[in-house]
A and B are shown apart, each in its own frame.
Chain A
Amino acid sequence: MMTTINAFLAAKGIYLLTLILLSLGAAGIIVCNNYMKKLICMNVMQVAVIFFFLCFGQKTGGTIPVALSEVVKASEYINPLPHGLMLTAIVVSLGTTGVGLSLLFRITEKYGTIEEDDLIRRENKTKTGEKE
């Protein structure tokens, strides 16, 4: 029993952690009432997926993918592809967060709150005065 669990954790344990992180982020977006917290949870979720991808780049016995000598053997370096992909994903998540923060800025200025139920109440109140 113990050996099975140990073997499982050694081979797949890191996936379990990233998936729990991902679920926490997803749950936060659903449960939290505050828009700022939702944004933070969104970031947690993106980071979890970045970790998830980086797991595939790991190779036992490999080092960082910068060639040390002229002759290169594939087994000596870890997989560079996930790192390249995740660099893109990080930049994209940065852009999304920036846009999200500026949207929050505008919401705070207009409605004076970023709590979801407050916001819905105020939105319904201002329905009449608005023409598109």
Chain B
Amino acid sequence: MTIIMLIVVITVPFIAFDVLPAIGDPESPPNSHVSDYYIEHAIDECNSPNMVTAVIVDYRAFDTMFETTVMFLAGISVVLIMANKPRRRIPSPGDFKRTRNTGGTPIYQTINKDVMISTIEPLILIYAMYVLFHGEVSLGGGFQAGALIGMTYLLDVMAVKRDKPIMNLTKFMSAAIAGLGPFIYALTGIICFIGGGLYLQYNKLPFNIHEAELHSIGITAVEIGVTIGVAGTIITILNALRERISFDDDND
């Protein structure tokens, strides 16, 4: 009953007042007011054939900086929330491992993870680099690359036979790295001040090359920042779950 009422309450105003444009109409306001500018000027202004990339990291780069910050924020929030652990203990990771191992041989153990992961990991990393540096030309970008790198770390941790992952990061270090990514982004914008530009105005970067090239440099720097931020956040969340400190916060 509630569901039907809510559907009516939310849907009726849109139909009754006829506020939305017809779908796919080339003349509708969203398709004609500012979007034409983005489509026609993305190549010559931002040197980026991928218009979505041009929009998110050049025209609306300020948004994306805070979007990356949201990732960092989510990472450290999870660390903070997970840092406190009440008295009533849940099974610790050690117990968890024991119960898992005694429960018969699962099917995935028939695959040699060590070999599989060590062949797959470099491939994923190469692919991540491709996605990162071709983000402005074709589909892709910093977020995807960051997610791929984070996943590589996750795979690395999952390898049962290996005692330690290649890079053994604590949650503190990974959170610090996650903060470094957005900082590279913010720094790119601040460097534009030196050339006398406004914030994130890439064509005022203080290097002596053509303007379009400067946009490419700016976009790449920003994408690298995003990648580091996202990868760091994924590793932070993983580590926050792995290393919890026993501590009851209701004590004081």
Contact = CB atoms under 8 A, between A and B. Distances in A.
Q: Do chains A and B touch in the complex (CB under 8 A)?
A: yes
Interface of A: 10-16, 19-20, 22-24, 26-27, 30-31, 55-62, 65-67, 70, 72-75, 77, 79-85, 87-88, 91-92, 94-96, 98-99, 102-103, 105-106, 109-110, 112, 130
A94 B230 CA distance: 12
A60 B24 contact: yes
Contacts of A98: 74, 77-78, 237
Contact of A74 (B35, B86, B240): B35
Given A95-B70, A95-B73, A80 B24 contact: no
A73 B26 CA distance: 13
Contacts of A26: 6, 10
A13 B11 CA distance: 12
A118 B179 CA distance: 39
Contact of B11 (A23, A57, A74, A91): A23
B51 A65 contact: yes
Interface in B17-37: 20-26, 28, 30-31, 34-36
28 contacts: A12-B20, A13-B23, A15-B20, A15-B23, A19-B11, A23-B3, A26-B10, A56-B28, A56-B30, A59-B24, A60-B24, A61-B26, A66-B49, A66-B50, A67-B51, A73-B40, A75-B26, A77-B39, A79-B30, A79-B35, A79-B39, A80-B55, A83-B52, A87-B67, A88-B67, A91-B67, A96-B74, A106-B81
Contacts of A62: 26
B209 interface: no
A95 B81 CA distance: 14
A109 B30 contact: no
- For the residues of A in contact with B, the DSSP-based class is helix
Given A26-B6, A80-B35, A103-B81, A87 B30 contact: no
A57 B25 CA distance: 10
A72 B77 contact: no
Nearest to A75: B26
Interface string B31-68: 10011101110110000011110111000100110010
A110 B86 contact: yes
Contact of B10 (A19, A57, A79, A103): A19
B185 interface: no
The 4 closest A-B pairs by CB, nearest first: A95-B74, A11-B22, A84-B55, A65-B51
A106 B84 contact: yes
Nearest to A16: B11
B81 A27 contact: no
B167 interface: no
A83 B39 CA distance: 13
Contacts of A95: 70-71, 73-74, 77
A30 to B, nearest CB: 6
B2 interface: yes
Nearest to A62: B26
Contacts of B139: 66
A20 B3 CA distance: 9
B90 interface: yes
